[in-house]
Amino acid sequence: MERTRFQSFALYAGLTVVCGILLFPIYWLFVTALSTLAEIRQLPPSFWPAEPQWSTFTKVASERPILLWLWNSALAAIGSVGLSMIVSVLAGYSLSRFSLRGGRSLGLFILTAKMLPATLLVIPLFGIFRSIGLIGSLWSLVLAHATLIIPFTTWMLKGYFDTIPRELEQAAMVDGCSPLGAMFRVVLPVATPGLAATALYAFVLSWADYAYARTFLTNAQGSWTANLGITTMKGEYVTDWNEISAAAAFIALPILLIYLFLERYLVGGLTAGAEK
Amino acid sequence: MAGISIQNVYKNYGALNVLKEFSLEIADGEFVVLVGPSGCGKSTMLKILAGLEPASGGKILIGDRDVTDLAPGDRDIAMVFQNYALYPHLTVGQNIGFGLKMRGTPKAEIDKRVREVAKILAVDHLLDRRPKALSGGQRQRVALGRAIVREPRAFLMDEPLSNLDAKLRVHTRAEISALHKRIGVTTVYVTHDQIEAMTMADRVVIMRDGIIQQIADPDTLFARPANLFVAGFIGSPGMNFLRASVEGGRLTLFGQTFDAPAGSRDGEVIVGIRPEHLALGQGNVTFTVKPTLVESLGSEKYVYFEPGEHAHSATSRDEERGKGLIARIAHAGPIREGGELLLSFDASEIHLFDAKTEKAMN
């Protein structure tokens, strides 16, 4: 059905408003980072600084160990994504393909871990990590994030594997693959969009964590993640909001770049079930 | 190439018995079709043969080798699936060569054989394309190519034509038959389409509820069906069935009494008359009907009529059809619906089935 001119106008107007609402925080983050403290506090606010303070970014990068924090965040995220994907690919594939006694209940039971708030798990996890000497180590974050990520990614991947015809693996097995070989040579390459979408989701979950980092990492700045480090930039009497915003922009940048890189896989991942 | 021996294979899913004591000897190079309605166990049998499903019991030999417990890849068979099952992330060439690669064939040898097979199947210009860029017919040919490139001991085909449109199906059917004649590999083909079964098979295995109903060549199936199910399943349009009784070797039908075919016994019977055995005008047994519907196919007409007060339709197939009995009249002139029409049949061409056991009597 063709749209009338009014419908097109309404559609584009609606989309513009929604995009505006979604993009405004990012825009405001950069405006704050580029403004002087006086401009930040002025009323009415200015929507673009008179003289953008690009030096704020270099100042933050040189005066704070922001790059080290980003590196720590990246290590924790890559570690937890790696661990989560290994577990959830195998678990999701098994739940999708094998009918085990009680398999469905087991699958649902995995999800119960996702029903618990992260803060509730902090105390038992702290006890476990302390007993095995992981407090202060990034490994504690890798393991803790994996406990949050795996239940959800397992179900995401199970849903994705369900859309891949079993005949593909059967054909591969007739062609000479073992069941595991069929999974690695055929199912996983076909599932690339789903894997990319799931990995990105896992990465964002780990990257955005604060509560676990605050609890498990010690007071030594060198082991902090970016989200933890940025909170220390707020002073008791003076807070440089432009520097905090510049640091926040540094933290947001990797996620934006990853989104841009994986975008084609993500769209493919979302629409793959629509075609047979 | 090799023959296949299936010995007393059965399959249970819990208490559900989907395949019952299936035994079949397939000669080297033979084309055998398993046919039957949905849920009859034909695809399960094929998967057991391929090693994709374990049998609950029984034994399978390919050639002299017991393959019952071997993995699919160790059975030296190739399979063509209903939905082609082409690997979407690989090119046509890689798809065809995948099985050879898995068996460690040198790359140069793979390239050579892939090109040879692609040429046979007329897909040699598509070798660098992905499956999604192919038409249904081309995908089907690539799937066939993937099967034949390995030169396996047997081909298994699971309804490979059911995703094609009617015209392409007829064309590909002939291609598969020609391919089988050319390479002569033992083939087990599963379909629910009796026309495919009849046109392609050396022998047809008709199944129902996990039990073999009859194993025979297509002509025998058509001429001497073993039971009511086979008689109704084979032939298009399906056989007409009428309830009748035999007394003293004489059968009464359409108000007329005549000698029952040899082999019949006195008692309740079901009479089967193929639509093409009904002819216009006077004959051995003649009766008058009022056509309720006439369908013209150009070269022939399907004339539907009610059996009338002297005969009673016997099976649910007629109810499914909803139009009573049917006569298939070749080269007929105009036939008026509702008017009187003289039809006849030769008493020697009718089939008699025991009303209780449904087994053929003649």
Domains of chain A: 5-53 (no CATH), 65-238+249-271 (1.10.3720.10)
Helix/strand/coil for A20: helix
Q: What is the phi/psi pair of residue A65, to 5°? A: -80, 50
Any idea which residue has 């599963």 for tokens?
B190
Sheet architecture: strand order including B291-296: B291-296, B300-305, B325-330
Banded pLDDT at A270 (limits 50, 70, 90): very low
| A272 vs B contacts (CB less than 8 Å) | none
For A36, other C-beta atoms within 10 Å of its C-beta total: 15
Residues of B in contact with A170 (CB under 8 A): 47, 50, 52, 72, 79, 81, 85
- What's this model's pTM, rounded to 2 decimal places? 0.80
pLDDT of B115: 93
The interface predicted TM-score (ipTM) is 0.84
- Give the gap in angstroms from C-alpha A193 to the nearest C-alpha of chain B: 12
Provide, as residue numbers in chain B, all residues whose Cβ is less than 8 Å from the Cβ of A268. none
The reported pLDDT for the residue numbered B29 is 93
Q: How far is CA B16 from CA A102, A152, A251, B12, B39, in A?
A: 20, 35, 59, 5, 12
Residue A273 in contact with partner chain B when CB distance is under 8 A: no
The closest of A116, A118, A110 to A150, measured between CA atoms, is A110
Give me the pLDDT at residue A113, please: 74
Share in percent of chain B as helix, strand, coil (round to 5): 30, 35, 35
List residues in chain B touching A: CB distance below 8 A.
Answer: 47, 50-52, 71-73, 77-79, 81-83, 85, 87-89, 98-99, 102-103, 146, 150
B88 vs A168, B93, B132, B237, B344, CA distance in Å? 9, 12, 7, 40, 57
Record: contact B85-A177, CB cut-off 8 A: no
CB pairs under 8 A between A and B: 60
User: Taking CB atoms and an 8 Å limit, are B87 and A167 in contact across chains?
Assistant: no
Contact B81 A172 (CB under 8 A): no
Pairing status of strand B300-305 against strand B291-296: antiparallel
Q: Residue A165: its chain B contacts at CB < 8 A?
A: 83, 85
Mean pLDDT of successive 10-residue segments in chain B (362 residues)?
90 90 94 93 94 93 92 92 90 94 93 92 90 89 90 92 84 87 91 91 95 95 93 90 89 87 86 93 89 89 82 55 78 84 91 90 82
Per-window interface: A 62-101 vs B, CB < 8 A: none
Contacts with B, A 115-174, CB within 8 Å: 165, 167-168, 170-174
To the nearest whole Å, the CA of B151 is away from the closest chain A CA by 12
A265 chain-B contacts, CB cut-off 8 A? none
Q: Of B81, B89, B150, which is closest to A171 when you measure between CB atoms?
A: B81
* Least confident range of A9-18, A27-36, A51-60, B342-351: A51-60
How far apart CA A26 and CA A34 sit, in angstroms, is 13
Q: Which of A167, A181, A192 sits opposite B81 (nearest CB)?
A: A167
* Sign of CA pseudo-dihedral B134, B135, B141, B144: positive
What tens digit of pLDDT does each residue of A175-223 get?
Answer: 999 999 999 999 999 998 889 888 988 998 899 888 888 888 877 778 8
